[in-house]
């Protein structure tokens, strides 16, 4: 469960969670097996600090999505200021074995005619960047190496750390990151067993395109632990206001 100790207020009616960007909404999608979760969650909660948590609950899994403002704390002596930065943490808790799970974060299929989108990843980092004549937007998250590294800190099942040997050869694996038309990214997960959970970060940052310091790229590097600001283990659940 995401941020279980933080008090929250239930929002009615629930809306589809998305991050508003200069190139349209960054939307999120989850497919479990052959079933796509509905765009509007079963529950939506407002948390302090302009954050929201959406929740979908089914027989085989519970899925949550945190949307939050994010300050990457870039050194102002090195990096120009960001116009804005928003982050998401997606979490799935498996209640049964899940052979196929896919999570996606995507901009609209049709971008402005003067916008260019491209893959922009690096070592242990998946990213796409979209820019036009005025604005640069980067959306970043985990690549396959980072997913395996996340197993070492318990953000995904620890056995996934052993999958690092598959990362360099797509023919060996049925999981990984797909960039499609570079309007977003899609993560196909290794199988989950009942009781497993997995968390993935997505960060979107934008700034004037004239600033070529790479601030949007570096600003989108973050782990779920950093975005969540982990609550102490064993802390009491926060109240829910109806």
Q: Is residue 85 part of a domain?
A: yes
Q: Is residue 198 part of a domain?
A: yes
| pLDDT tens-place string over residues 25-58 | 999 999 999 999 999 999 999 999 999 999 999 9
Secondary structure (H, E, C), the chain: CCCCCCCEEECCCCCCCEEEECCEEEEEEEEECCEECCCCCCEEEEECCCEEEEEEECCCEEEEEEEEECCCCCCCCCCCCCCEEEEEEEEEEECCCECCEEEEEECCCCCCCCCEEEECCECCEEEEEEECCCEEEEEEECCHHHHHHHHCCCCCCHHHHHHHHHCCCHHHCCCEEECCCCCEEEEEECCECCCCEEEEEEEEEEEECCCCCCHHHHHCCCCHHHHHCCCCCCCCCCCEEC
Global pTM value: 0.93
Domain of 216 in residue numbering reads as 8-229
Q: Is residue 2 part of a domain?
A: no
Task: Please report, rounded to a whole number, the percentage of residues in the chain having pLDDT higher than 70.
Answer: 93
Q: Is residue 235 part of a domain?
A: no
d(CA 149, CA 142): 10
Q: Is residue 242 part of a domain?
A: no
| pLDDT tens-place string over residues 194-205 | 999 999 999 999
Q: Is residue 59 part of a domain?
A: yes
| pLDDT tens-place string over residues 157-214 | 999 999 998 887 766 678 999 998 899 999 999 999 999 999 999 999 999 999 888 9
Q: Is residue 72 part of a domain?
A: yes
pLDDT value at residue 171: 64
Domains: count for the chain: 1
The CATH number given to whatever domain includes residue 101 is: 2.70.98
Q: Is residue 214 part of a domain?
A: yes
């Amino acid at each position: 469960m995401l941020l279980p100790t933080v008090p929250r207020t239930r929002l009615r009616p629930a809306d589809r969670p998305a991050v508003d960007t200069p190139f349209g909404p960054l939307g999120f999608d989850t497919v479990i097996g052959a079933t796509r979760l509905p765009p509007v969650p079963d529950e939506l909660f407002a948390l302090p600090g302009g954050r929201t948590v959406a929740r979908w609950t089914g027989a085989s899994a519970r899925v949550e999505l945190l949307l939050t403002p994010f300050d990457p704390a870039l050194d102002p002596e090195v990096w120009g200021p960001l116009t804005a930065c928003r982050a998401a943490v997606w979490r799935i808790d498996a209640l049964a074995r899940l052979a196929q799970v896919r999570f996606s974060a995507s901009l609209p299929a049709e971008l402005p005619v003067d916008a260019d989108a491209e893959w922009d990843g690096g070592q242990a980092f998946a990213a796409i960047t979209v820019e036009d004549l005025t604005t640069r937007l980067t959306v970043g998250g985990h690549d396959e190496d980072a997913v395996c590294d996340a197993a070492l800190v318990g953000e995904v099942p620890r056995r996934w750390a052993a999958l690092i040997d598959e990362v360099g050869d797509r023919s060996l694996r049925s999981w990984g990151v797909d960039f499609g038309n570079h309007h977003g990214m899609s993560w196909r997960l290794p199988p989950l067993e009942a009781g497993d959970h997995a968390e993935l970060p997505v960060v979107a940052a934008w700034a004037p395109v004239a600033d070529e310091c790479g601030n949007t790229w570096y600003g989108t590097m973050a782990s779920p632990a950093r975005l969540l600001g982990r609550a102490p283990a064993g802390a009491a659940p926060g109240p829910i206001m109806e």
